[in-house]
Structure 1
C-alpha cells in the first residue's frame, strides 16, 4: 500500500439469510438494515453473497441437487435494475456505503454470482465471482475489483471461493487494497467449509496486511491486518461492527514481506499448475525412499 487511509472507518458485517423467490422482500430487508446501520454510525455495511436474490448452492441447493438454468434465470437480476437501484438510493440517502450480492443476468444472457458495492457518491463497483466452480450454469468473472472510497480507503472484493486461492488475496494487496470484502453464501456454521473459512481468512489478512470483512448467511467476522479477529459471531442476524484503525495497516508484518518478494522467481505461478511436473516416464524415474518391485508366481509342473 503506497499510503495509509486518512481516517478510521466503522464497518459492519451483516449476516443475512436471503429467501429464494422473494427478491422484493430481500431488497426491503437490506434497505431496512442499511437504515439501521446509519443509526449505528456505520460507514460501510457488508452483506453476504447473493443476499438480494438468493444463491444457487448451500443448504437449500446442494451439489447433488442443482438448479436448472431456467430456474436460475427466473430469479436472476441485472446489476442496473430496480433492485440494485433501490439499494443505491438507500446508500445515497443514509450515507452508508453497502456491498450486496445477487445472481446477475448479464445483457448477453450469461449468469454470474456478482457483488455490487454502492457508495454514497453514487458510484457502483461490480465484482463478478472469479471462481464459479461447481456451478455449471454460472460464468466466471475475468478481472479483479479494487477501488477507492472516502477517507483514503482502498477496497477489494473477493466472493466466496475467490478467497480460497491464496493468489487472489495477494493480488488484491499488490493492487493497493487495505480492506478486503469477503462475502459468502450459505456456509453452514457447523460444517467443514465454514470452519475452513474461519481459519483461512485470518491467514489471508496476515499474509497480505489487509483488514478482512467476512459476511455469510448466519455468521460474520472482521479481521485486522495482523490476523487478529476483532469481531465475530456465529448464529443470529445482528450487526457485527468494528472500527478500523488505519494505523494498524502500517504495523502489519506483511508489508515487510511484500517488499521482500522476488517476482523473478515466481514465473511458474502464471502457468498451468501441472506444467513442469516430474515426468512419469520410466526411463527418467528415480527412486526416492522406495523402490517398486514387480514379481510373478509361476506354477511348476511335476
Structure 2
C-alpha cells in the first residue's frame, strides 16, 4: 500500500449543468470553471460524469432505444480530441488539475462512459466505467484506475454505478488510493433517489476504507439555448470518518463549486485505514468467484451449524459443582 500523503490538498466539487451535444459550449463552461477554481486556490477540480458531451440519461420509450447507439456515437469524442485538448490546455494555464467526463469513442469503435483526470504538466489518466448501469450500448471498462500525483496523494476514479459495488471501493483502497473521485450524472426521474443513495453510500465507502471521497453529480439536459451550460447538480466531499465536510447546501448562492481542504492526518487516524491491515484475505477467497452459495463449505473458513427438526441447535455444556470445605 502507498505511503500516506503529508500535504493538505484543496479540492473542489463542481456544480455543473451540461447540454447534450453542445460540446463546445460545455467545454467553454468547464474552462471558465477551472479558471475560477484557480482563483480560489483549488488544486483539483472534480466535474460530473459525461460533463463534456452529455449522453447519460434515462430512456423513456422503445423508440428511443432504437436510435440510442447512433445518438451516443454522434456525441462521442476521442481522448485526444479537440475538446480534451482544450481542457488540458486550461489545466496547464491555471495550474489546477481537473477531472472531466465524456462519452468516449475508442479506436476500436467501442463506446465508453469515460473520465479523464488532467494534471498540470500534461499527464492524463483515463478511467472507463466498470458498471455502465444497464446501458446496452456502452462497453465496460476492464481495470481500476489508481495513480500518484505530484501532491503526494494517490487518487482513484470510480464513475457512477462503479460506486454501487462495495468491492470496487475496497479494491482501490487496497491499491493505495487515499482520495476517491466519484463523478456521477443525473438521469431524469430518479435523480433525487440516486443522489440520496449516493449521499448515504459514499460516507460508508469512505469510513470503511479510510479515504476521502469527492462526489460531483451533474444535470444533463437536451439542447435548448447556447448559453445554458453551467451551474447545476449535487456535490459532496466526505472525510475518512464518513463525515460530510462540504456539500452543495452549504455553498454561497451563485457559487458553482464547493471547496474543502483535505487534511492527510485524518487518513492514518481513521478506523477504516487502521483496520485495512487487520483483514484476513485467506477467509475471503470465496468472494472472488461470485458463487459463494454453490461452493463446498471449508470447515477451516466456515463452521457449519446443524439444526434439529424443530429448528433447535445442539448445544453441549457441563455443570461443575464446587464442594465447600468442611468446617
Pairwise TM-score range, normalised by the shorter structure: 0.7 to 0.9
Structure 1 residues 88-167: aligned runs within 5 Å:
88-167=88-167
For residues 71-102 of structure 1, give each alpha carbon's deviation from its aligned partner in whole angstroms, at most 9, with x where no partner exists. 11011100111111100000011100000000
Shift, 1:287, TM fit: 7.3
Is it true that 1:263 corresponds to 2:278 in the alignment? no
TM-score of the two chains, using structure 1 as the length reference: 0.88
Is the 8 Å Cα contact of residues 76 and 103 (structure 1) preserved in structure 2?
A: yes
CA change 1:88–1:135 in 2 (3 A) is same
TM-score of the two chains, using structure 2 as the length reference: 0.81
Is it true that 1:228 corresponds to 2:229 in the alignment? no
Rounded to whole Å, the distance in 2 between the matches of 1:174 and 1:209 is 11
Rounded to whole Å, the distance in 1 between the matches of 2:310 and 2:115 is 48
Rounded to whole Å, the distance in 2 between the matches of 1:63 and 1:270 is 37
CA change 1:190–1:135 in 2 (3 A) is closer
Give the aligned partner of residue 203 of structure 1.
Answer: 204
Structure 1 residues 208-287: aligned runs within 5 Å:
208-217=209-218, 218-233=233-248, 238-273=256-291, 276=294
Rounded to whole Å, the distance in 1 between the matches of 2:196 and 2:19 is 24
Shift, 1:62, TM fit: 4.7
Shift, 1:237, TM fit: 6.4
CA change 1:128–1:92 in 2 (3 A) is same
For residues 29-78 of structure 1, give each alpha carbon's deviation from its aligned partner in whole angstroms, at most 9, with x where no partner exists. 000000110111100000000000002324xx458654521111011100
Rounded to whole Å, the distance in 2 between the matches of 1:10 and 1:201 is 19
Rounded to whole Å, the distance in 1 between the matches of 2:199 and 2:310 is 37
Is the 8 Å Cα contact of residues 216 and 235 (structure 2) preserved in structure 1?
A: yes
Give the aligned partner of residue 49 of structure 1.
Answer: 49
Mark the structure with the bigger radius of gyration: 2
Rounded to whole Å, the distance in 2 between the matches of 1:103 and 1:220 is 21
Q: How many residues align?
A: 283
Is the 8 Å Cα contact of residues 63 and 134 (structure 1) preserved in structure 2?
A: no
Secondary structure of residue in 1 paired with 2:241:
coil
Is it true that 1:194 corresponds to 2:212 in the alignment? no
Rounded to whole Å, the distance in 2 between the matches of 1:141 and 1:152 is 26
CA change 1:277–1:264 in 2 (3 A) is closer
RMSD: 2.4
For residues 146-191 of structure 1, give each alpha carbon's deviation from its aligned partner in whole angstroms, at most 9, with x where no partner exists. 0011221000000000000010000011000000000001156862
Shift, 1:268, TM fit: 1.1
Rounded to whole Å, the distance in 2 between the matches of 1:219 and 1:260 is 35
Rounded to whole Å, the distance in 2 between the matches of 1:237 and 1:80 is 31
Secondary structure of residue in 2 paired with 1:199:
helix
Rounded to whole Å, the distance in 1 between the matches of 2:162 and 2:281 is 22
Is the 8 Å Cα contact of residues 19 and 53 (structure 2) preserved in structure 1?
A: yes
Structure 1: 5+ residue stretches without partners: 279-285, 290-302
Q: 4+ residue stretches of structure 1 with deviation over 2 A?
A: 61-67, 187-191, 234-237, 272-275, 286-289
Secondary structure of residue in 1 paired with 2:29:
helix
